[in-house]
Structure 1
Amino acid sequence: MKIKVGVLLLALLSGCDNSPEPEKGFAGLGHQAEAFIPVVPGRVFNFPLDHGPHDGFRIEWWYVTANLKDDQGQEFGAQWTLFRSALKATPEQSGWSNQTIWLGHAAVTSATVHHAAERYARGGVGQAGVSLAPFKAWIDDWHFSSQATDEDPLADLQLSARDKAFNYQLRLTSTRPLVLQGDKGFSQKSEQGQASYYYSQPFFQASGTLEIDGKTYTVSGPAWLDREWSSQPLTANQTGWDWFALHLDSGDQVMLYRMRQKDGAPYLTGTWIDAHGQTQLLQADDISLTPQDTANVAGRAMPVSWSIKIPGKHLDITIGALNPKAWMDLRIPYWEGPVQLSGSHGGQGYLEMTGY
């Protein structure tokens, strides 16, 4: 469950007046969206078509995180995200009449450094977009594009982003199947039924180069792609979330998210993905997710260490941030960075925390 900032971006770009706004949840994502297509159970996914944009839905994203090491074992993280936000529910127009806003986020993290950057674009003029045959997602000179020549456009991809303080060029490959999150791709976010369509490719292997502050490293490691689209993924009562994507040394993968609320207990769910790509939906009763140590980050107390227990899978681990200061100091700020696992299972992963 990745950060979904597009709805707030729409508000910023659409102007405002002095009238008080009703509560809309974190980043405006609880705002009612009657004109857009609702997310309902039972969707039949269609690949490769679903790798592309979805007209009629208000918000979607292409989101990659990678846990990387160099030849000396030094650890890094890389993030690449493209958000698509629709200003209107009508069919997409061409040129400057286009009603789509694109937003890109990219970041790199080491144990001592974290750099983040963002890009904005209007749709319809070629500055950003997603196309199929071949698959390509881009904003300015940031690219996530297929190198595959067979029927699976996600089998072999090139990922690149650059800013003043960083640059990475990564190749992502996988022969494993895609994973439908939640109930066959219907990912519920609240007891009231808010949801997204959500699938992942958690089995990527990444390799390439990463440059931080003028120094270049040859790196490799596991990577994770998330694809989600929705029209109203949150309720107005939900203030933010904690999202975990974990690569276990056993070959299994785990996705968890905890949706925090102003009133009541958090909404907690996840997916256990075995080494062959078979999934099991995890309910709140299956999971114990407890914040441990906090760090003062950008004037906020951030829980950068967590205890995670899934007794039915004999999982009892502690995760800790590679760099507790992995604050995305962007127009809409949040925390996101690589984590390390210890306890019953070793491994690595990514943690995102919003709304603190």
Structure 2
Amino acid sequence: MNVKVLVLCLMPCLMLSLQAVAQGFAGLGTAAGDFSNPLRGRVLQFPADHGAHPDFRIEWWYLTANMTGPDGTPYGLQWTLFRSALAPEEGAGWASPQLWMGHAAVTTRDAHFVAERLARGGIGQAGVTAAPFNAWIDDWAMAGPDFGNLRLTAAGAEFAFDVDLRAQGPLVLHGDAGYSVKSAAGQASHYYSQPFYALSGQLTLPSGDVAVTGQAWLDREWSSQPLAQDQTGWDWFSLSFDSGDKMMGFVLRGGQDYTSATWIAADGAVSALPDGAFSAVPLARSRVAGRDVPTTWGLRLPARGVDVTVTALNTQAWMATSVPYWEGPVVVSGSHTGVGYLEMTGYDD
């Protein structure tokens, strides 16, 4: 039996396992069991922590980018590699409990192109190495001599991209030195970002090739139970202001919403803001893939004088993948102007 046939035979199990990873974004509120848990005070180690943490249940390498073409036309780009473990013990070959899922997308004002890859760990289909850095699934890759100098590639039925990423600032540790609390009950993840990439390269779309330049933001996160049992999804914002300052903020929805934010000054100085300091209120909804999804938001971070409206570039940026969610570029207006990305999970009905 060849590898493709084996993958097809195992695909139903793979799909069920991936869909059982979270509640809201597929059961992330279920107990961690024998998996490792994030530890407050653990010092993140680089480049080692750019790599995989197989003793944790869930992990991702998540890149989004705001770009423009030569004529100023805006575009958005997403490339994500998810790792999910069925068990905390590692195994070789097909015995590896690691499951991998890749998502890639390009968004324009009028279209949203999406592709997905699914893979088993241990057989070379997907994986991540820390130094030199290489994250791949099938023929998609984010790789380079180090985390600050990367080439990013992916292709779907109607699109492709090949872009270079060059870090222009430091890594950002969210929460307490990378220990990011997600609920009043204390669920947490290890979470850091590289929000200072300069991007250049090429998109391939049905209308032809487009040279693009812009800025990209890479999120790294791993945990084994990052949500509380009553949390059903999240609204996550990464904003890059024209001033050079940046902001990350999220709302975890549940019986009692939980918020967190990070202010990133243009020089890379970081300030973590606690639950309640950041607010996000839906201002308008759009009918997307048969459901009502908020696509215009009012965001406030009074400690930094932020009072902005965030509007989707394309309201129909629905990721119709194995675990569906909304992900797309946004435009920022109000007290601050700029661009960014919005991710919303748990709007499945």
TM-score range (shorter-chain normalised) is: over 0.9
CA separation in 2, counterparts of 1:31 and 1:272? 30
Partner residue in 2 for 1:128 = 126
Are 1:226 and 2:219 an aligned pair?
yes
Q: CA RMSD in A?
A: 1.8
- Equivalent runs, 1:271-310 vs 2, <5 Å: 271-310=262-301
Partner of 2:247: 254
Task: Confirm whether residue 169 of structure 1 aligns to residue 169 of structure 2.
Answer: no
Q: Structure 1 residue 287: deviation in Å? A: 2.0
User: How much identity, in percent, do the aligned residues show?
Assistant: 51
Alpha-carbon distance, 1:40 to partner? 2.1
3-state DSSP of counterpart to 1:96: helix
Written as runs of structure 1 = structure 2, the 5 A alignment for 1:84-163 is 84-90=83-89, 92-146=90-144, 148=145, 153-163=146-156
2:232 is paired with a residue whose SS is: strand
Which letter maps to 1:199?
Y
Task: Tell me the equivalent position of 1:243.
Answer: 236
Task: Answer yes or no: is the 8 Å Cα contact 1:26–1:238 preserved in 2.
Answer: no
Kept in 2, the 8 Å contact 1:327–1:334? The answer is yes
Equivalence for 2:4: none
Q: How many Å apart are 1:162 and its aligned residue?
A: 0.2
Poorly superposed stretches of 4+, deviation over 3 Å:
9-16, 23-26
CA distance in 1, matches of 2:243, 2:134: 32
1:25·1:237 contact (CA, 8 Å) conserved in 2? no
**Residue matched to 1:39:** 38
Match of 2:205 in 1: 212
Shift of 1:15: 11
TM-score of the aligned structures, taking structure 2 as reference length: 0.92
Q: Are 1:61 and 1:81, in contact at CA under 8 Å, matched by a contact in 2?
A: yes
Q: Which of 185, 188, 198 is equivalent to 2:181?
A: 188
The AA in structure 1 aligned to 2:115 is A
Which of 326, 329, 333 is 1:338 aligned to?
329
1:329 aligned to which of 317, 320, 339 = 320
Q: Matches of 1:75 and 1:25 in 2, distance apart?
A: 30
SS in 2 for 1:72: coil
Q: TM-score if structure 1 supplies the norm length?
A: 0.91
- Shift of residue 233 of structure 1? 0.6
CA distance in structure 1 between the aligned counterparts of 2:213 and 2:128, rounded to whole angstroms: 26
Residue-by-residue CA offset, 1:269-324 (whole Å, 9 max, x unaligned): 11001111111111233223211011110111111011112122111111100000
Kept in 2: contact 1:165–1:214 (CA 8 A): no
The 3 A distance-change label for structure 1 pair 259 and 14 is closer
> What stretches of structure 2 of length at least 5 have no aligned partner?
1-11
Quick check: 1:173–1:206 contact (8 Å CA) kept in 2? yes
Q: Which 5+ residue runs of structure 1 have no aligned equivalent?
A: 1-8
Instruction: String of CA shifts for 1:25-63, please: whole Å, max 9, x gaps.
Output: 541111112200111211111100000011311110111
> What per-residue deviation string (whole Å, max 9, x for no partner) do you get for residues 58-117 of structure 1?
110111000010010100000000011111111x22211111111100000000000111
